[in-house]
């Protein structure tokens, strides 16, 4: 386990039709993002889950520069999966930029301001 793994908490719950991930901590960095995405994809591969609900609970969002560093590897990990993103702190500017990049790489992703809407979208797609 790398040092980044000590800087976040993650709960992975296999729901009926999707993986509900709650990940949080003080601040997201590129190392933390890659570490938690690897955990998520490992769980998905073990449970054959194509749909992910990311319930983001970090006080501070990743910087734009760091997001640009990790978006390629994250896109590779997400190939063939759907992603619904919800942020508990209402940080959506950088995730919106990430969504544009992920979609350009063929990843179906949507950002939600309400958790129940994210679940409905995942189950409908």
Q: Which structural domains are found in the chain, ordered by start? A: 3-124 (3.30.750.24)
- Distance separating alpha carbons of residues 55 and 46, to the nearest angstrom: 20
Q: Looking at residue 113, what DSSP letter applies? A: S
Residue 6: per-residue pLDDT: 73
In this predicted model, what pLDDT tens digit does every residue of 6-37 receive, in sequence order? Answer: 799 999 999 999 999 999 999 999 999 999 99
Residue 56: per-residue pLDDT: 97
pTM: 0.93
Query: Which residues does the chain have with pLDDT short of 50?
Result: 1-3, 5
How are beta strands 51-60 and 18-27 bridged, if at all? parallel
């Amino acid at each position: 386990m790398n040092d980044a793994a000590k800087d976040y908490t993650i709960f992975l719950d296999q729901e009926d039709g999707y993986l509900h991930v709650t990940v949080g901590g003080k601040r997201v960095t590129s190392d933390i993002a890659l570490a938690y995405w690897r955990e998520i994809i490992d769980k998905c591969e073990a449970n054959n889950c194509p749909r992910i609900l990311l319930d983001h609970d970090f006080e501070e969002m990743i910087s734009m520069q760091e997001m640009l560093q990790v978006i390629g590897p994250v896109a590779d990990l997400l190939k063939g999966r759907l992603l619904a993103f919800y942020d508990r702190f209402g940080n959506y500017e950088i995730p919106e930029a990430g969504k544009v990049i992920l979609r350009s790489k063929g990843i179906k992703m949507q950002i939600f301001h309400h958790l129940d809407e994210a679940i409905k979208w995942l189950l409908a797609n």
